[in-house]
Chain A
Amino acid sequence: MNTTFSDIWQEIRYFYFNAPLAIQIAMVFIVIAVSATVIAYLVILRSRYRSYRRTKQLQKLLPKIDDLLINEILANPDIPQDVHPSKIDLPLAPFESLPLQKRWARVAMTERIIHFRSNVKGNAGALLRNLYLQLDLDKDAARRLKSPRWDNKVRALSEYVSLELPISDVTLLPLANSRNRELRAAARQAYIKLSKNEPFKFFDSVTDPLLPWDQVELFRIITTTEDIAIPNFARWITYSTNKSVIAFCLKLVVHYNQIAAVPAIIKLLDNRDHYLRGDAINALGKLRVKEAEDKLVQLYNTQPMFCQVEILKALGRTNSGKYVDFLRNEFTHATEFDLRKAAARSIARNSGRAREVMEELLATTTGQDLLILKHCMNPLIKY
């Protein structure tokens, strides 16, 4: 046997060294291709086997976890209702039946607790958090936070945030300045959610733009954290040099209906950045600041199109009736479809004298303009 193999090997070698370059390359690649294909098959089979085994294990484990969580924690009559949930010693003995010495089981348990907490809050949510701590599940997160891999750190941070585990500023601040953008974003969220002293401090220092996705995540964190002191966002609207922070603060002002921030927003109307100005106009409209109408109308002619659309929309939202004639004028004279539509919508949204104007316009316009009016009046059409 051995001799034949080595014979073949010799022959291949001989063939290889006497072949032209193209054939040599081809021969090398044949070896690479065969090994890569074999490896790919092995990887496929391995990953399938793993996910198959994991699914099987979870199918057995999850119903057990669910039963335990519901029977022992959420609906356990022995758990006192008048004591603060974090002070209760939970019955841990039943949980010993779970294979929590295994890491995959701990991960599953943690994910399940988080999943439960996305369904129930209040007392029940606090009890689940307490269970997580008493089962020492936070040790995994702590270890992951120290991992050199950024994605592990981010996972750990999101676990900290969703279970509201305290974390020291000393650990968090270096991460908030990390070179990895996703890690930075996660650290900021954790900072807002978990920092005791000044949750919004990083608004002062952040220089890179907050991406729309970051803003969605931050918005959720800020608006769902219960014991957070909401500052007056006018501070950043006035002083921040980071445009994305200003734009984000405008959205927060609207959400919290912070009328105190209005003067700062009005000042923003003189800003050079069209996008920021557009956001400011939008915020004024949503806050229904009637006092800003004069200024908006006065600015109107010098604005780019999308700011003009925002101004027309804002006049519909503030709904003072003062500028109905202005809106009518824009509707009849503007050449851009979007402007006419925005003006018509705002007339339709205004009450009082706007009704008469609307009647009059409906009687006098024809063609596409009439369609626009009817479109805006139709309750079936939302946009």
Chain B
Amino acid sequence: MSKILLVEDDEVMPKIISRILPEPEYQVDIAVNGKEAMQKLEANNYQYDLIITDIMMPYANGFEILSKVKSHDREKPIPVIIVSNAGNEDMIMEGFKLGVDDFLKKPIIPAELIIRVKRLLMKR
């Protein structure tokens, strides 16, 4: 079973993602803002196999979460996918500089997300 943290302040996306990544194969934990995401990370001692995050959210944006996750365990960092509707060149650059593993722009193709998730989980 793979444990995934999904950070997203829109209400529709989590519904879709938790459906296309179903239990028992996946366990999707949802945080609706940056603060909740940080709390979940701390509470679970960073025991996630993958993090899917939006960029623009209250309290802390996706980049902060990304940087926190990547600096927590530099040896074997948790893979992070950004799924965001903001995706100009600067932001994508910023994401990759911080070590994001994949950058998907909304609207996404569900099948594509599944493949990318599987690939990243396999590498791990």
Contact = CB atoms under 8 A, between A and B. Distances in A.
Direct touch of chains A and B (CB < 8 A)? yes
Given A66-B12, A118-B85, A119-B13, A75 B107 contact: no
Interface size range of chain B in the complex: 10 to 19
A124 B85 contact: no
A8 B85 CA distance: 67
A123 B111 contact: yes
A122 interface: yes
Nearest to B94: A382
Contacts of A125: 107
B20 A123 contact: no
Interface in A118-174: 118-125
B76 interface: no
A118 B84 CA distance: 11
Interface string B1-43: 0000000001111011001100000000000000000000000
A117 interface: yes
Interface majority SS on B: helix, strand, loop or mixed? helix
Contacts of A117: 107
Nearest to A116: B12
A121 B15 contact: no
B57 to A, nearest CB: 15
Contact of A115 (B12, B19, B112): B12
B19 A120 contact: no
A74 interface: yes
Contact of B19 (A75, A116, A121): A75
Interface string A66-91: 10001000110000000000000000
B86 interface: no
A176 B16 CA distance: 38
B108 interface: yes
B122 interface: no
B13 A122 contact: no
A122 B13 CA distance: 15
Contacts of B16: 70, 74, 116, 119-120
B103 to A, nearest CB: 16
A66 B13 CA distance: 10
Interface of A: 66, 70, 74-75, 112, 115-125
20 contacts: A66-B11, A70-B19, A74-B20, A74-B110, A75-B19, A115-B12, A116-B12, A117-B107, A119-B10, A119-B13, A119-B16, A120-B16, A120-B107, A120-B109, A120-B110, A121-B109, A122-B111, A122-B112, A123-B111, A124-B109
